[in-house]
Structures are given as C-alpha cells and as structure tokens.
Chain A
Amino acid sequence: MEKVIIIRYAELFLKGKNRGFFERAFETNLRRAIQAYEHRLIKQSGRYLVRDFAEEDAEAIMEKLQKVFGVHTLSYAYETASDLDSIFEVAKGLCRPNGTFKVESHRGDKKYPMTSVEISKKLGGMLLDYAKGKLAVDVHNPSFTIRVDIRENGLALVFGEFIGGANGMPVGTAGKGLLLLSGGIDSPVAGYMMAKRGMNVDCLHFHSYPYTNMQAKEKVVELARILSEYTCGTTMYTVSVTHIQEEIHEKCRPELMITLLRRFMYRIAERQAKRIGGQCLITGESLGQVASQTIEGMTSSNSVVETLPVLRPLVSFDKNEIIEKSVKMGAYETSILPFEDCCTVFLPDFPAIRPKMKDILHEESKLDVEGLIEEAFTTLEKIEL
C-alpha cells in the first residue's frame, strides 16, 4: 500500500490538436511547484500521480499543487492490489467512526471480474459489517464517500475526497502580460486572474522614494512573491516616478495629478512590456472604485498606449468580490499592511473625477514627457521571483 496524490485536470481536454502543448506546460508547472520536495511525478491516462514523497511533505505538496492553474481536483489516495480484500483493508482506514457513507467505483480495467456497481455493493457491505451498526449507507446525501478506482495494472487507487484545485489553464499557454502592481488589494488579484487563463505575468511597480519608504517597496516585493506562486515565477521591475510627480506638482493643475501620473505610468509600462516581449498591460482597475477609475480616467490612460491592449480583469468587480479573491490567493494580509505605495504628499484634496481630454493635453504640454520617461527608465530595477 503506497500513498499517492492524484492530480486531475479538466479543461485541457478541450484543446484538441494542441493538447500536447498544453500538457507540456502543465507538467512543467507541476514540477516547478513541488521541486523543493522529493517526489516522482508520473503521467497516467488522463491524470498525474505524485508518488515517492515523504509523508511529512504531503500537506505542503498538496498546498503547492492547489495553486497550479489547470489542476481541477486533487486526492490523497492509497494504491493497493486490486483484489477486494486489499481494497477493504485500505477503505477501513478511510471510514469515519460514524455517519452515513457510500462507495463509488470506477473500473479502468474492463477485464476486472466485477462491474463497478458490484464492487460498490460488495465493498459497502463489507464496511457495514465492519462498522457494526455505527455506519449506514446513504447514496444520495452521504456524510463521506469512499472511492475506488481499479487500474489496468492490477492495482487500485482508494481515496476519500476530491480537493478542489485552482482550475483555469496552465500558465505559459496564453502569452505574456505586464501587470502594473501597486501595493493595494486589486492588482495582485488582477495578475492572478490573468494567470488563471494561462498568461505569463511579469510585474511593474512604480515608487516615489524618498516620498515612499523601503517598507512599502518590500511589501510590493512580497505581493509579487505571493503572486509568483500562481504564475510559476515572475520578474518584477521597479521604476521611480518621483521626479515626474514633482514636475506635475510644480507645473500642472493639482486636481489632474493622478490623471497625468497615470498617463506616464501607462507609457512607461507599454515600453517596458515591449522590451520584455509582453503582449498586453494588465491593471487592477475596477470601474468607479476611485476617482481615477472612471471611464473618463480609463480613456485618458488608454489613449497613451499605442499598440498593446490594456486588460482589466477586475473592471466589473465589487470591492468585496476582489477582497474575497485576495483572501483566497493569500495576498490580503500583505495588501492591507499600512505602507503607502504612492505618496500622499502630492495627492490633491479633490482629484478630477471626469477629466476632460482637452485639459489633460493642455496641462501635459507643460511637461517634457519624453525626457521624463527616459529619465524614469534610468531608475529601472529588476527582481527575479
């Protein structure tokens, strides 16, 4: 009897001729996720098995696998000889002390002497006898389920529950995007959402040291690291927008500070994306959440991006929906640490909610846009995560 982890994937099946491409990406990501632990990963008719791992690593391995996109469900399972007595020995151990149960069987080996229904009935009977009245069968609403999977190799997998995976598509199968990562709640979730659809995500963070501090930057690095568990690694770039903010502060109308700054950020982001082979920008904007995230604000930022699409996976999400996802991905506690990622020193009391393009262009004409962008790029730093 050996303990194994069953990894099932779902959506990949839909991909017809490209299936090999998806499976290779998936397998690479699985291996990367659990590379820190001793194990063997084996592909077996439409699923993967992890075996030969240390018992004490099992939980950590499960946790890592749950973060790999493309994983539909996982199960801890015991592999044993496929005769009913051996199966019964394992199934005993999976039973709860009392309650209702059912047995579900699946027969991969069609030459097996019993049908699935017969296996379930027989095993269920054996377990009832064993429990001496403490268990009852309920096929509609059982408190737990024993599952048996008879394989072709004379072995059977016996397990209890399906544990939900991250679903989605394997990262690396849908191109590459550059995420504008702030220290807030939204942007890590936006990165998560795009990775879920198979996109490789690199991050770009803007800081304004000395108006913001090192703790704020460390916090963003930590957010990128949390995200990297889902994106199978990420590269984080940081760029200082300190001088840009100062120039806007000095020369332009204060209520347009954020609008103008965002246009700089988008321009820098597009250039950086192109440098690294990125095919889109990703932001955590949600319509109407703050003053700069109105449709007018988005129009203003979008209009400086020349060729790449700007993807906003959270555009229609409520804040509490985003928070829910942030909690789920494990970023929330870090996101709410009280360090400012964008300095409040320059924030206007009343930012423009519906900036007019005419005003924006007029204010922007007072600035050396090209020079400032070039200067900002001299502060570019790169962190591999």
Chain B
Amino acid sequence: MIEAKLKENNEGVLAQNNQMPVDKKAKSSNPSKVYWKVFKTSPLGISGLVILVLIIFAAIAAPILAPYDPLTQNITQRVQGISAEHWLGTDAYGRDILSRIIFGAQTSLTVGLLSVLASGVIGTAIGIFAGYKGGKFDEILMRIIESIMSIPMLLLGLMLLVALGSNMTTLVTALSIGLVPSCARIARGPALEIKESEYVKAAIASGASSFRIMVVHILPNIMGSLLVVVTLNMASAIRIEASLSFLGIGIQPPTPTWGNMIKDSLSYLTTAPSLAIFPGLALMITVIAFNLIGDTIRDASDPYIIRKRG
C-alpha cells in the first residue's frame, strides 16, 4: 500500500515533469546523456550499475565462471564449510554453493526480465489505450486493474502456480499479470493529459490515426517514468520469484534458484547457517542494485535535480 502510494506520488511528479518546459541545457542534449549525467554524479547509482553489470556477466558466463557443475552431487562432501576447494562450501547433496549461486543468477534474471518485458508491453498498451479512449472503456479496465491489485503478487503467484502447476511459464505469467497494473497506471495518467494538448489536437486535425498518436505522440512522453517503474518492477519480480521458490511452489529443484537454495537450507540452520546466508545475500544485493538504479533514474527524470546538478 505504501509502495503504491509512493508510486502514486512519483506518478504525479513524473507526469508533471512531462508537462514542464524542459531546461534548455537538458533539451540540447539527448535524454540518455541526461541520465548519464545524473548517474555520473551519483555514487549510489554508479554502484548499482556496477553490481548489475557484474551479476549479468556472472549469469551469462555461468558455465565458464562456475568452478563446478551446479547439479553434480557428491555425497562424500556433504554440508562442508568454506574451503579453498569450495569457496562458499557445499550443500546437503555435496553440490558447490558458489556454482549454484552463479547459476541461480541466470534463473532470477531470466524470470525477472521476461515478466518485466511482458508486463511492460501489455501494461503500457492498456494504460495508453485506456487513457486515450477514456469513457466506459477506461472505467472497466481500471476496475480490472484495481481487482488485480487487491491480490498481492505473492498470493497471485501462489494461486496460479497451484492451479497450473509449478513451472517457469506459469511463474512468468503470474509475475507479469501482477506487474501489469503498475505499468498501466503510469501510462494512463500522462495519456489522459497529453490527449488534450495542442499538438495532439493538431495531429488529429492533420489526419493522424489513433494508433499513430498513441505510439508517436504519447509513448515517448511516458518512456522516462516507464523506465523507473520497469527497473523497480525488476526488483519486485526477483524478490517474489525467490519468495515463491522459498515456499516450495516456484521453480522446482534441481534447478538452482536463490529461493529454493534457502528453502533447502532450512534443516541445517543450526549447523550450517551459511547455506541460507550466501544465496540470501546474492538475492538481496541483486534487488538492491535494481532499486538503486531505479531511484537514480527517477532523480534523473526530475528537472529540478538535473538543474541543480547540471
């Protein structure tokens, strides 16, 4: 709820920013340069980016980086502590924890990326369409969005995974549905305002189709705020995927994910707490990285901060 309200506030601020006359300095350079300028002066933003690049690299290069196969069991080396051979120790089946964490990054990022992309495209389309068309259509879509929002994403995931079985496709579908409202709401606000603007009226008068207006005139105005939402959504998606896997209903073993690694560690909390702590740290750091980047991009979309720093 608070997150929703915070987001609402941001939506307001961001929507306003879209309407504000752009600073001359900022106008002369292209948007990606403006973002880069803010990132450069934000140590937290930079560290978020660096962490993320490292995680993505680890995920892509997992087969080369990981010292062991993440699935190979070795009963003689069960639940071992930190050693030169196994940097982060081994789990209950003698599997190398570091290797499993590296491969876990693959799962987390894939699930996050797929659900964020799907929800981003669908949510934005719904939001722009609802805002632009207005009326009954808008009213109905917004009721549906509100209903989805009244089921927490974790429970929506639980429900769909129970009904359709635990697999990657269902998980991504569930997360995508859960994330659609955030994108739809952020797209709808500006769409409502922009359709009343002079230039859209001019475009209509010169015979532009609704589709063209939505894609060429409204969409670019939303990109900045959408980028913030999508980045923060990535953090939520990864966190919820891990929570579902922790509850034993997300991605199923033996596929290594940070969530099911923590779940498997539960019987060893007294003797080997590191089994839970290492994958948990990996998860936490990844979510922090996305939140840092999201916060920085949000600052970058705020003309006040750009002026102050620029």
Q: Do A and B bind each other?
A: no
- Using a CB–CB cutoff of 8 Å, the interface residues on chain A facing chain B are none
